[in-house]
Amino acid sequence: MTDTYAQLVSKGPAKKIARKLGLPQPAALRRYEPGQPLLTGPVLVQGSSSGADELAAALLGWDLDVRRHAVPREKLAAIVLVLDTISSPEDLEAPVLAAAASLRDLAPGGRVITVSRPASDGVLPAAAAARQGVEGLLRSLAKELRAGATGNGVLLAGDVAPASPGALAALRFFLSGRSAFVDGQLLTVSTGDGAVPGNFDKPLAGKTAVVTGAARGIGAAIARTLHRDGANLVLVDVPAAGDHLAAVANEVRGTALQLDISIEDAGQRIISHALQRRGSLDIMVHNAGITRDKLLANMDHARWSSVININIASQLRINDAILADDRLGKAPRIVSVASTSGIAGNRGQTNYAASKAGVVGMVRATAPLAAAAGGGVNAVAPGFIETDMTARIPFAVREVARRLNSLQQGGLPVDVAEAIAFLSSDAASGINGQVLRVCGQNLVGA
């Protein structure tokens, strides 16, 4: 759907008026296109630890123009602030203010990324305070950036090194145009595992992915993005969406499976279809979901039960089938679509928010089971995404919802798809049990 306001204030007299009145001025985001370079300018790596040195060397291996010290008034494509060894709040000042001096030199669409450790790792209070402080400053900084620039963080659990494959995979995602609508988020890397793709443009080559709810909107965008990245596809949707499903399947050279995922044996049917038609099942993307909105005082059994059954109970049953089947790929990856409504809540969506919060809980509890099977499970939580559903929101409400994030605009279905494609890849094998918000740093909720 076209954002008419954003187009209007992007140039000419309307741009000057918007600036003078302090109105939102959404910038065009730097989104990924196959074959484009990772970055088109220097990247400044700030930090004095050995991990910072090793990370800078790894970025040089990606043919990036790496700086270890700022050059005044040199436009930067990215700033990477490595804080992996801080042990007290006082340790923050020198590296953070050194990076701050370069913020005015950040190019439009630039990236600021912190690399630090989680406060929950059982360290002393001073170290925990410093580590939590990084999260606070990163989220605040992300709200200060303009011109389509974003700020995100990589959290290194345990003894994961800044230049480990898992950490570098998360860093590359945040540096790239694939993370255009991901802002103010911190992604934990629980192990250093991760495979560098032989072809960064085809990281899913040879993998078979199942996508539910694939006939329209975000599901169709997921299918197209996974196909672009090399995956073989099995697309699932209800029989009523059969024509649309077939069209998307033909477009991405996949197979279509008309199926109500809420039935008890949906998992077995999906597995059998994937093995018969594609020979494997490596990636399961739970995208299918419905809304049946009502204030809780007006909620009835049909609205409540249908949302819970399709949005979360069906995923639990399908996951049980996948994790119990030894015929699947050696490292199955599961990605679910949650929602910021399940994190922050939303008026009139108690059933939907319960189901999407349930997805978050499911992912965290399933992570050890997936790891035992050699795989992983994660979720993405979209915010306001431009779809047919959001197009039906009343105009004034829609405009407010679009601007209530740091990027001052709605995301696109492809933004959700990019995050799912990354979490589906072997490069993300060090990431497990995480929920990544794709919301432009929505200003409501955590």
**166 shares its domain with 278:** no
Whether 6 is in a domain gets the answer no
Strand order in the sheet with 43-46: 66-67, 43-46, 76-82, 106-116, 150-156, 186-189
Q: What is the pLDDT of residue 273?
A: 96
Tokens representing 114 are 């912190």
- Count CA atoms within 13 Å of residue 441 on its CB side: 23
**216 shares its domain with 185:** no
**248 shares its domain with 105:** no
**256 shares its domain with 370:** yes
φ/ψ of 414, rounded to 5, equals -65, -25
Where among 144, 160, 189 does a domain terminate?
189
Whether 390 is in a domain gets the answer yes
Element (H, E) at 81: strand 76-82
**324 shares its domain with 377:** yes
Q: How far apart are CA 424 and CA 203, in angstroms?
A: 9
**154 shares its domain with 214:** no
Whether 32 is in a domain gets the answer no
Where among 189, 220, 254 does a domain terminate?
189
Q: Which domain holds residue 78?
A: 38-189
Whether 373 is in a domain gets the answer yes
Q: How far apart are CA 72 and CA 49, in angstroms?
A: 23
Written as tens digits, the pLDDT of the chain (446 aa) is: 677 777 777 777 777 777 777 777 888 999 999 999 999 999 999 999 999 999 999 999 999 999 999 988 899 999 999 999 999 999 999 999 999 999 999 999 999 999 999 999 889 999 999 999 999 999 999 999 999 999 999 999 999 999 999 999 999 999 999 999 999 999 999 998 887 777 888 999 999 999 999 999 999 999 999 999 999 999 999 999 999 999 999 999 999 999 999 999 999 999 999 999 999 999 999 999 998 999 999 999 999 999 999 999 999 999 999 999 888 777 899 999 999 999 998 889 999 999 999 999 999 999 999 999 889 999 999 999 998 877 777 777 788 888 889 999 999 999 999 999 999 999 999 999 999 999 999 976 54
- Which residues, listed in sequence order, are joined to residue 349 by a DSSP beta bridge? 294
Distance of CA 30 to the CA centre of its chain: 15
**337 shares its domain with 404:** yes
Catalytic residue selected from 181, 352, 384, 422: 352
Whether 91 is in a domain gets the answer yes
Q: What is the pLDDT of residue 242?
A: 95
**252 shares its domain with 167:** no
Helix axes 350-372, 314-324, angle to 10 degrees: 10
Neighbours of 97 (CB within 10 A): 9
Q: How far apart are CA 442 and CA 383, in angstroms?
A: 7
Task: Provide the number of structural domains found in the chain.
Answer: 2
Where among 160, 189, 218 does a domain terminate?
189
Whether 28 is in a domain gets the answer no
Task: Check if the beta carbon of residue 333 is closer than 8 Å to that of residue 377.
Answer: yes
The yes-or-no answer on residue 352 being catalytic is yes
Whether 280 is in a domain gets the answer yes
**231 shares its domain with 379:** yes
**228 shares its domain with 294:** yes
Task: Check if the beta carbon of residue 82 is closer than 8 Å to that of residue 162.
Answer: yes
Q: What is the pLDDT of residue 401?
A: 83
**67 shares its domain with 127:** yes
**Which CATH number characterizes residue 176's domain?**
3.40.50.720
Whether 10 is in a domain gets the answer no
Task: Check if the beta carbon of residue 223 is closer than 8 Å to that of residue 153.
Answer: no
Q: How far apart are CA 237 and CA 243, in angstroms?
A: 10
Q: What is the pLDDT of residue 292?
A: 93
Q: How far apart are CA 224 and CA 219, in angstroms?
A: 9
**267 shares its domain with 320:** yes
